[in-house]
Chains A and B, each alone.
Chain A
Amino acid sequence: MLLNREGSGSRWRIRPDGPSKVTGQLSYLTDMTAEGMLYGLVLRSEHPHARILSIDTDAAKQASGVRAVLTYLDVPGLNAFGIAHPDQPVLCEDRVRYVGDAVATVAAETLEEAEYALMLIKVEYEPLPVLDDAEAALAPEAVKLHEKGNLLHHAGYSKGDLAEGFAGCVHVVEETYYTPRQMHTYMETEGGLFVPGEDGRLTVYAPTQHGFMDRMQLSRILDLPQQQIRIVSSPIGGSFGGKDELNVQPYGALLALRTGLPVKFHNSRWESVRAGLKRHPMKITMKTGTNAEGKLIAHQVRIIADTGPYSTLGAEVLNFAVEHVIGPYVYEHLDINGYSAFTNNGMSGEFRGFGGNQAIFALEGQLDRLAELHGMDSWSFRKLNMRRTGDTGPFNQPIAQTDGAEQVWSVVAGSELWKEKDKEQTSNQPPWIKTGVGAAFVMHGAGLGVGIPDPAGGRLQLAKDGKIEAVFGYEEFGQGLIASLELMLIEQFGFAASDLRIVIGDTDIVPDSGSTTASRATAMMWKSLERMRVPFEEAIIARATVAAGLAVDQLQLGEGGVRRKGSEELIISYEQLAQLEGEPVKSETSFHFPTSSVDRIGAHFMYTYSAVAVKIELNTLTGRVNVLKQLHAVAAGPVVNPQGFLGQIEGGSSMALGFTLTEDAVMDKGYYMTRNLDTYLVPTIADQRGDVEVVAIEQLPEGDTYGPRGIGEVGSVTLAPAIASAIRAASGKWVTKLPVQPSFLQEQPAFLQKAVD
């Protein structure tokens, strides 16, 4: 189904949070203020790597307007955070490991006073050797950044006998691929308001992708019971993984509790760049061989990921990359080794695509090169090597089966865009403009995977005022979660939008539905509603039967209230129902994200399949690439919300365009060179004038109980290799490094070359 506004009919709805967002009326958490609040700032390290000899805060504490200056001595609990492994100091004691490391934090009455106080803090450093290269960090002689060394994580997978495999190959391609340090570049930088209550509780208004995880981490740092902390976490002005880990929350919380006053934090873009997460830069070396028939025989991969100074989810990102360098193809012999290394560069961490973006760029590059060596059409070559319905996953694990691979493959194979591949370059374009068509293919895992707690669930209840409340622990960071939930409630239950109240993002109220990450939230809401639908309907109708004196089978849920089956006559409104005596009308569910029955940390069970074809235009005078057309075929089960689906794929592809053509947070010796958005360039609308078509394949195998698959990330992982493939078609050059360097694609005009001849 071609997904667009016209074809979606009444399912294309104005999202509930849309008008206030586009008019700027919506108040984000970082827009909040409180009477008498203080302004908080963090003093960050001057050096990428240094020993701290002394920290002197006396002068800062004396300065006017300053209410608190805190160092590591003032952290009551664990002086560390990190979702998976808390090894990032809240406030550094004796050593700094990157330029974003926090050494002290200040609260003052005005922002200027807080800035001034930072200048008064004297920190003596002894600079240490800077590890600015992940491979160098893994050398035995490298200075150790952590007690256990510089290897955060190794992940491997092997089967068969690689030497034997390669011995039998007729073609072997060996190549190394490099991917950039991409920044999330959310419009709303990190921040929040931290409000201490008279009852000793702390309320944190700060964006995050998992309120309960923040609560747990803050409880550890503050040495405060979790129940004493309330996290309000939505709405969020973009996250893409970047606000999954704690950022300013520890400082706001510490300062608020110390001063007894509300404290506001809001990072400048400069500070956000310096301290925040980025996508792991990876160096991926692949050696891949095929037999005479073009079948993949042996595949050897070495991944080096630069994870920066601390863990966050670096290990999990590497696990994901290891799974996705194997991907949707079948091999006889495999040997995969991934290494995630600590360095003194910026923090790398969770980011939409989660290691898949890097892996798929490399893997699809190999497929294109091998197809060419075989003289085969690259798409047919993929088909030949693709996993079939019924096959296991990349780690040979059981997976939820769909025909998605075949389906998305066929959409591209039959598309007009793909047929343009074989057309002659049109004669009406100038000779320095070259066009090319390329395509790439992916199976992308959703959920956190085997062995990682991945709870899901939610609650439906009839509120006292008669609203139907849908209560979930998920977050709205722009992806359209509220709109999707609303549409599901309307379509599955028959409610009107005006009957509903959606409650999210407040740990005092919502159940722990797990994190809003890994393309999981919509699928988990769908599943939760499916599980709650019958009991919730029954509870409402049970109350209605008593009031109306009608039998259960004469009633059904409808807009505004319970209606008579068949006639649609309103029997009793939800408001009237809510006022009646009786058991509370509610239904709750909690379950675990479905996982594969395999003993392999991070292995996935549910996959989304996608194929992307693109047409690009290369201006050889400048070497710049313009993407003219994109076709995304996505097999992810039923489309929960057409506008949200389209938005996710288009938005993901826009990020992927930046990853491919313009974005790189360049570092030199541990310092950011791109410190603001004047040098770190995300695509503008002018860079995205090309058409984007999205074809959604909704059909799932009969008996599938898992419902919609995740689509939050898949739009962002497949575009880069498709563009690289199109660049090859246009220019004859193989791209191995992203973002693509125009100088690499630039050519002298042909009329000059002729003159030289």
Chain B
Amino acid sequence: MGTNAHEQETIQSPLVWHPQSAADAWQLKQNFGADAVYAAGGTLLRTQWESGLAKMPAHLIDVSRINGQEEPIREHESGMTIDAATSLAACRSDALIARKLPLLAEAVKQIAAPSVRQLATLGGNVSSLVGDSLPALLVYDAQLHLFGGAGEHWEELSDWLAATEQALLSSQPASRLLIGITIPMPEGTTDSHAVAPAQEELVSKTKRFGAYYKVGRREAFTPSVVAAAVVGSINSSGVLEHMKLAVGGGQTIPRRLKELEAAFAGSELHAATLQRIYDGVLDVYEPRGDLFASADYRKSTAANLIVTELWKSAAEAVTGGW
């Protein structure tokens, strides 16, 4: 009788593969197809298995060792790269991220709980399509380093999210493997949402701002209801420039609100403008509501947070305080 039980257990426990390169991982996935799932920390997968949202696969492809780089978080000429398999805990305690990508640092700090962050990876958070790091990465214009059938390539996170959402809707999920995330930084800038230095000189009184917000149903270890990030600059006349807005939260795939970014570029940030931005967020952001937080609440929360950040920044830029 024990034999049968053993067999059963074998069936239930996936075989775990440990490829040493993206190409090997990719090949394994090609071999096993739908019977295999890429996994790094496995924290999200476990909740899906437990709740019955997904079946435990026959094969797990461990992608935590596919990138042989010594420094999982590194700075280079064109920006910063974070390996997909970098744990959230490592991101959270990394000095470079804290200095150069403060919104990402803030976002990661608010994801799950310490024990989960120890295992969960930034790549997994991105690949989930609804991770709370995404709004921060979106306003940083993050690019994804992917491995697919045709080899390695780079893709804008924003485009990738939109394309993946479309693919999901048409039930044709693309199976590309995420290797790393790169934040472009123009040479010489001190952080990612800075304008180029030449420009900065011209607008020396320009106030740059950036904020990340997560609102959940409690203060910690909670799924987000709204996760939003905003960066930009305001000059001393109160004119808004270079605004980038990204909103998500819960089961809503985050996106940049580029229509608003364009519409309000160069606008003077007085109350009427803020009202129009507020209305704009309600208009263009389409979150998914659930039992605990309606779509309307998610919209108004996102709108409130964004316009308040702008109002605060404008007040600081123009009068030095609010």
Contacts and interface: CB of A to CB of B under 8 A. Distances in A.
Interface of A: 64-65, 109-110, 112-113, 116, 270, 430, 432, 621-624, 626, 661-662, 666, 668, 673, 675-676, 678-679, 681, 683-687, 742-743, 746, 748-749, 751-752, 754-756
A109 B292 CA distance: 41
Classify chain B's interface size: 35 or more
Given A621-B308, A676-B51, A678-B47, A751 B291 contact: no
Interface string B280-322: 0000000000011110110011001101100110000000001
A754 B270 CA distance: 11
A686 B304 contact: no
B170 to A, nearest CB: 29
A684 B304 contact: no
Nearest to A63: B4
Contact of A113 (B5, B221, B270, B293): B5
B217 A748 contact: no
Contact of B301 (A622, A666, A752): A622
A2 B218 CA distance: 30
B308 A432 contact: yes
Given A64-B5, A673-B291, A746-B300, 14 more contacts: A65-B2, A65-B4, A110-B5, A110-B9, A621-B301, A623-B301, A662-B218, A676-B50, A679-B292, A686-B219, A687-B220, A743-B293, A752-B271, A752-B278
B275 interface: yes
Contacts, number: 102
Contact of B217 (A112, A116, A681, A749): A681
B23 to A, nearest CB: 36
B25 interface: no
B304 A742 contact: no
B219 A749 contact: no
A537 to B, nearest CB: 52
A109 B220 contact: no
A684 B271 contact: no
B304 A112 contact: no
Contact of A112 (B12, B222, B294): B12
Interface in B1-45: 1-2, 4-5, 8-9, 12
Contact of B272 (A65, A673, A755): A755
B274 interface: yes
Given A749-B311, A752-B307, A109 B2 contact: yes
Given A65-B4, A65-B5, A687 B218 contact: yes
Contacts of B131: none
A109 B218 contact: no
A109 B51 contact: no
B308 A64 contact: no
A645 to B, nearest CB: 27
Contacts of A661: 218
B223 interface: yes
Contacts of B293: 742-743
B50 A749 contact: no
Nearest to A657: B218
B215 interface: yes
A427 to B, nearest CB: 12
Contacts of B5: 64-65, 109-110, 112-113
A112 B8 contact: yes
Q: Which among B226, B278, B300 has the greatest number of chain A C-beta atoms within 10 A?
A: B300
Contacts of B51: 675-676, 678
A725 B220 CA distance: 25
A623 B272 CA distance: 23
Interface of B: 1-2, 4-5, 8-9, 12, 47, 50-51, 215, 217-223, 226, 270-272, 274-275, 278, 291-294, 296-297, 300-301, 304-305, 307-308, 311-312, 322
A742 B274 contact: no
A622 B304 contact: yes
Nearest to B47: A678
A514 to B, nearest CB: 37
Given A64-B4, A755-B274, A748 B219 contact: no
A309 B33 CA distance: 47
A109 B47 CA distance: 27
Nearest to B314: A751
Contact of B218 (A64, A430, A681, A755): A681
B221 A684 contact: yes
A201 B322 CA distance: 76
Nearest to B276: A755
B291 A754 contact: no
Contacts of A116: 8
Contacts of A678: 47, 51, 223
B274 A666 contact: no
B166 to A, nearest CB: 28
A113 B308 contact: no
A687 B219 CA distance: 5
B12 A684 contact: no
Contact of B271 (A109, A685, A743, A754): A754
Contacts of B215: 622, 624
Contact of A64 (B1, B220, B272, B304): B1
B304 A621 contact: yes
A743 B299 CA distance: 11
Contact of A749 (B221, B292, B307): B307
A748 B293 CA distance: 17
A270 B50 CA distance: 9
A661 B292 CA distance: 12
9 contacts: A662-B217, A668-B291, A676-B51, A678-B223, A686-B218, A742-B297, A746-B300, A749-B308, A752-B278
